[in-house]
Amino acid sequence: MAFAGKYQLESQENYVEFLEAVGLLKAKTDHKVVTEVVRDGNNFTWTQTIPNWTWSNKFTVGQECEMETMTGSKFKAPVTMEGGKISIEFPQYHFTAEVIDDKLVMTCITPGEKGVTFKRVNKRI
């Protein structure tokens, strides 16, 4: 159950560049994101919260799941876990998450020659 818990943003790389790449540059970038992961076997509820905004997805590893992007668009994608790393193909980027030294590390990579790699490290709270 390594993922289960509550985490707060510790550091991030290329966040503004990532927001530009997915068309969300107008989003506020100086907030402290809190991520809560609830896990029951292969079933996950993944919630990110900042003041005045919450984004949540429920998914099951090993299945195609309906999820929602940060802008509210719904999509379906398979969710996989290999070597303790969750992997999801969002419409505008590839998302992975893993726990390293009790920190939740999330990486989002936009496609293409000039793809952006956004990395967020979250400490357990």
CATH code of residue 105: 2.40.128.20
Instruction: List pLDDT tens digits, range 11-66.
Output: 999 988 888 888 876 655 667 889 999 999 999 999 999 888 889 999 999 999 99
pTM of the model: 0.90
Count up the domains in the chain and report the number. 1
Range of the domain at 78: 5-124
Full 3-state SS string of the chain? CCCCEEEEEEEEECHHHHHHHCCCCCCCCCCCCEEEEEEECCEEEEEEEECCEEEEEEEECCCEEEEECCCCCEEEEEEEEECCEEEEECCCCEEEEEEECCEEEEEEECCCCCCCEEEEEEEEC
Instruction: List pLDDT tens digits, range 61-100.
Output: 999 999 998 888 999 999 999 999 999 999 999 999 999 9
